[in-house]
Chain A
Amino acid sequence: MNAVNTWNSTQHFWLIILGFIVAFIPRFFPLMLFTKRAIPEWFNEWMKYVPVSLFTALVVKDIFIDSASYALLLNKYSEMLAAVIVIIVAYRTRSMAISVIVGLIGVFILSMFMA
């Protein structure tokens, strides 16, 4: 991964503003609405599955999909193995920091032994 991006600071600034808006809408409006009236049941039931679905999709993208051609990649063995380690560590410790640090150290060591 090289820094090949050609955006300038003004474009970054606008990205931040737009990002702020899309980050703000789902945080604010349910809070504003539902402190005044009840939450529809179906909305809650559906929203419950959005995080897991999205996180899994993002992990699959990071480990199994080539970022340039969007072809299936099944040879990132060090990442795959490190991912299994992270799952076990996250399940046992329930700590975000420990999971991330173990994952980083794991992928660093594994990538020295595997291509």
Chain B
Amino acid sequence: MNKRRPNPKQVPDPNEPLWRSTLRVAMPLNLSYIPIGLACGILLHAAGFNTLLTGLVSLMIFSGGAQFLIATMLTINSPLLSIVLMLFFLELRYALLSSSLSPYLKGSSNRFLFMFAVSLNDENYAINYLKFATDKKWTGREALMVEHYSLLFWAASNVVGSLIGNALKIDLSIVNFALTALFLYMIVMQIKNRLTIVICLISGVLAAACMMLTKSTLGLVISTIIASLIGFGLEVTLRKRLPDSHWLWRLRSPGSKKEAVEHSDTN
């Protein structure tokens, strides 16, 4: 998750219209969506999606990981049920993100929450969480605008990527690495303490074993459930038995002066 924030040198102008101040907050994210959206659009085109459907999937699912996964699973001819199940587990992490934003959206109407949930995403979550935590004037309305800007840039880059894929011949095994790099980035952003690294290793070994045993991507689902339960169990045990254990020490993160996006401590 990104730790982007507006340039501290820019003094907020009280007369700046809302659409511009929120756009300024969203802009670093919008720009970083362009290359990833292009790669995703190219892959979706290769998986057989037409340009219109590529636009539709970007608007309705709005998740880089999920769209890349659809593209890869389609090219290896996975059955529909297997893809949808995989997507469900991939998107399950949003339960965590949306529950951690919920204290800031108390009192909102269900209609607003619906709109907010539809355009929620890992990266705009990170921005909004940071703004909610640090800026008293930041409300659901501003947060929703940031979501919509990022959605717009994401969908547009996907459509352009789809058109590029139409016009050029591109080595897909290389573009596909964009997904691996995206997940690696998200793992690095999730690592908070040494225990998390242990869980990563356990999950990796379990994933390989489960996929070899089940001969399908269902192994991913099984290994994710087991590994996350092991992590949960280990942390509960460590906190109870060895509260000072160095496995729970927070790891320093370079590139950010203070821990900006923290879901674990706030609830």
Contact = CB atoms under 8 A, between A and B. Distances in A.
Interface of A: 1-7, 9, 11-20, 22-36, 39, 41-65, 67-72, 79, 82-83, 86-87, 90-97, 99-104, 107-108, 111
B66 A26 contact: no
Interface of B: 2-3, 31-36, 39, 46-50, 53, 56-57, 60-63, 65-66, 69-70, 72, 74-77, 80, 83-84, 87-103, 105-108, 110, 113-114, 116-118, 120, 123, 172-191, 196, 199-200, 203-204, 206-208, 211-212, 214-217, 219-220, 223-224, 227-232, 235-236, 253-256, 263-264, 267
A56 B204 contact: yes
Given A27-B118, A67-B72, 6 more contacts: A12-B48, A54-B92, A70-B219, A97-B31, A99-B182, A103-B177
Given A59-B183, A94-B189, A100-B35, A23 B57 contact: no
A47 B89 CA distance: 11
Given A30-B98, A35-B102, A53-B231, A64 B208 contact: yes
A40 to B, nearest CB: 10
Contacts, number: 331
Chain B contact surface mostly: helix
B33 to A, nearest CB: 8
7 shortest A-B CB distances, which residue pairs?
A: A103-B181, A49-B231, A97-B32, A57-B207, A53-B227, A34-B102, A28-B117
Contact of A23 (B94, B123, B208): B94
A53 B223 CA distance: 8
A23 B173 CA distance: 26
Main secondary structure of the interface of A (DSSP, over half): helix
